Amino acid sequence: MIGFLGAFIAGITLKDYSLLLAPLLYSLSRKNRDWGLLGYLILLLYSSSKLSFTSLYTYSGTVGSLTYGLSLLLLLDDVLTAGKSSKAELSVIPVVLIGLIFPEALILGTTFVLLLRLGFGRRWLIPIALPSVFLLLRRYLDVSGGVYNQVAVIGGVTLVVLAATAAGRNLKKMEMFRA
């Protein structure tokens, strides 16, 4: 259910009104998962053709692409699981709703729910770190000629997330690659 709400809010924030059809996908996936997946595919293809970000290296481009990508990833998970959510996931709804005002809050909420679904449990520090890094370094990311800073920040955040993911899995037994 969080994925449908996240996609709806992402549609409002990014002014991509095709994402406002997410509640329709919810009802469609509850009746038949195959129809829900077909509707998701059509929605994904249509909405991705309408959105364009000038650059991932600008603050607005990074926040917009993370908002779009994370909300659609959760939307796919909700289509596949017919929108079933745990109590911990439902407690994130206020944070996701704040995403109407601050898109960083939507990134925070959807990342937290995604990590809960992946089995990270109480490792909630990672989803808090991502928007915090973008907020703290916002004035350095949007300067002209600041491409080197932008690449370093995005690469650093990626490395932190990958390291935290690898730390939670036993790589010797190849558990990380099993579903």
Residue 144 has pLDDT above 70, yes or no: no
- Burial bucket for residue 159 (CB in 10 Å: 0-12, 13-18, 19+): exposed
Mean pLDDT (whole number) for 84-98: 79
- Burial bucket for residue 59 (CB in 10 Å: 0-12, 13-18, 19+): middle
Q: How confident is the model at residue 107 (pLDDT cuts 50, 70, 90)?
A: confident
Residue 68 has pLDDT above 70, yes or no: yes
Contacts of 90 (CB under 8 A, 6+ apart): 1, 2
Instruction: Look up the pTM and report it.
Output: 0.68
Residue 90 has pLDDT above 70, yes or no: yes
Give the separation between CA 43 and CA 49, rounded to whole angstroms: 10
pLDDT for res 130: 61
3-state SS record for the chain: CHHHHHHHHHHHHCCCHHHHHHHHHHHHHHHCHHHHHHHHHHHHHHHHHHCCCCCCCCHHHHHHHHHHHHHHHHHHHHHHHCCCCCHHHHCCHHHHHHCCCCHHHHHHHHHHHHHHHCCCCCCCHHHHHHHHHHHHCHHHHCCCCCHHHHHHHHHHHHHHHHHHHHHCCCCCCCHHHCC
pLDDT for res 105: 83
Give the separation between CA 127 and CA 106, rounded to whole angstroms: 11
Residue 123 has pLDDT above 80, yes or no: no
Residue 56 has pLDDT above 60, yes or no: yes
Tens digit of pLDDT for each residue in 157-170? 677 766 766 666 65
Give the separation between CA 67 and CA 13, rounded to whole angstroms: 9
pLDDT for res 16: 84
Domain extent listing, the chain: 2-177
pLDDT for res 120: 65
Residue 3 has pLDDT above 60, yes or no: yes
pLDDT for res 26: 81
